[in-house]
Structure 1
């Protein structure tokens, strides 16, 4: 766990807590760091994974969730969907939206060189922004045994991924997105299903 990865976990928790959910489902809990924090602060938290050795609360596939509609206030998947082929990951997102009552939150890897910047204006505010390298062309993605795709690679630019998310989410869903300043490799998408 690097400092940048911890920053990403902080954003995960922040996005979930902003919704004041009564119940949360995390798909693909990995080592369980997020769950341990969430449970310790009192969230009603469950996990789902295909691998029974991770001891999830539910065993099943993300693209065919074994749960009824509107089962949880919030459903999240952090750095998970890229581990599936793109079409399968969008089916998983559609399933997340089906199972979520209020919100679905995902984070995905975003490749490409960039420079995070901060300008501090004393007594006014701190402004954070990220500048993408305009001279670096998108690389072709090569499956590395882990990631089938990443935002910013050839064929997976942000507009294409946004369009796919919009077409697989509910019709009236409001979507916001941002890169984590402390860890710009992670891009968050918040899907407000109540809009």
Structure 2
């Protein structure tokens, strides 16, 4: 992983930072803050929203990317990070690992675990279609959920210039992803779920051993 794939221009507010994606930003911050970290490393900072938000709530956040145009704190490859073991409390990567071939994504995850002292949080695209829905309950507020869209067989994945693979496409069922992540590095799965307001994003929260 020694060249950038996504141009900075894709991270425009009107097209990239949608209302649905804001829901994912909330879950990113919520899951990382649950570890009560002092230091956080984000791989692939994109538009920089996560760092800007999380830094306001206590942790010292640094970023790593190959693209200097994104102004990361560290310009380096994610599969060979220039940090000591357990250098950061939490290491995270959101909608990033699918931008490299599957085998390489596992190498990056292993490296993330090496650098993390407490936990690793990632999100990945889940191609199994779901319809997000919400309703308001008096005195409770909005409740969100999603309904699966019936499909006879999973889709074949075709490289679109960005994503090499996605969960629940042919060859990449969820059970395989869970198995491979669990066995590539010493971690314990805490939870995995899809964001109700943005079900294309599936989160994985791991505690390091």
Contact 1:24 1:46 in 2 (8 A): yes
Query: 1:149 & 1:135 partners in 2: Cα distance?
Result: 19
Q: Which residue of the other structure, out of 97, 115, 133, is the alignment partner of 2:113?
A: 97
Distance apart, 1:115 and its partner CA: 2.8
Query: 1:124 & 1:42 partners in 2: Cα distance?
Result: 29
* 2:206 aligned residue: 191
**Which segments of 5 or more consecutive residues in structure 1 lack a partner in the other structure?**
none
* 2:188 aligned residue: 173
**Could you say if the C-alpha distance between residues 125 and 56 of structure 1 is closer, same or farther in structure 2, counting changes exceeding 3 Å?**
closer
Q: CA offsets, 1:8-30, max 9 Å, x none?
A: 00000011111110100000001
Query: 1:65 & 1:77 partners in 2: Cα distance?
Result: 14
Distance apart, 1:72 and its partner CA: 0.3
* 1:87 aligned residue: 103
Q: Does 1:163 align with 2:179?
A: yes
Q: TM-score, normalised by structure 1?
A: 0.91
Secondary structure at the aligned position of 2:167 is classed as coil
Q: CA offsets, 1:78-129, max 9 Å, x none?
A: 0000000000001000000000000000000001221335577777998754
Q: Which residue of the other structure, out of 64, 79, 84, is the alignment partner of 1:63?
A: 79
Secondary structure at the aligned position of 1:107 is classed as strand
The total of aligned residue pairs comes to 193
Q: Does 1:29 align with 2:45?
A: yes
Query: 1:101 & 1:126 partners in 2: Cα distance?
Result: 36
Query: 1:122 & 1:30 partners in 2: Cα distance?
Result: 37
Secondary structure at the aligned position of 1:7 is classed as helix
**Could you say if the C-alpha distance between residues 3 and 89 of structure 1 is closer, same or farther in structure 2, counting changes exceeding 3 Å?**
same
Query: 2:162 & 2:193 partners in 1: Cα distance?
Result: 23
Query: 2:151 & 2:52 partners in 1: Cα distance?
Result: 41
**Which segments of 5 or more consecutive residues in structure 2 lack a partner in the other structure?**
1-16
Q: CA offsets, 1:40-86, max 9 Å, x none?
A: 33320100001122111111111111111000000000000000000
Query: 2:104 & 2:32 partners in 1: Cα distance?
Result: 24
Point out 4+ residue stretches in structure 1 off by more than 6 angstroms: 119-127
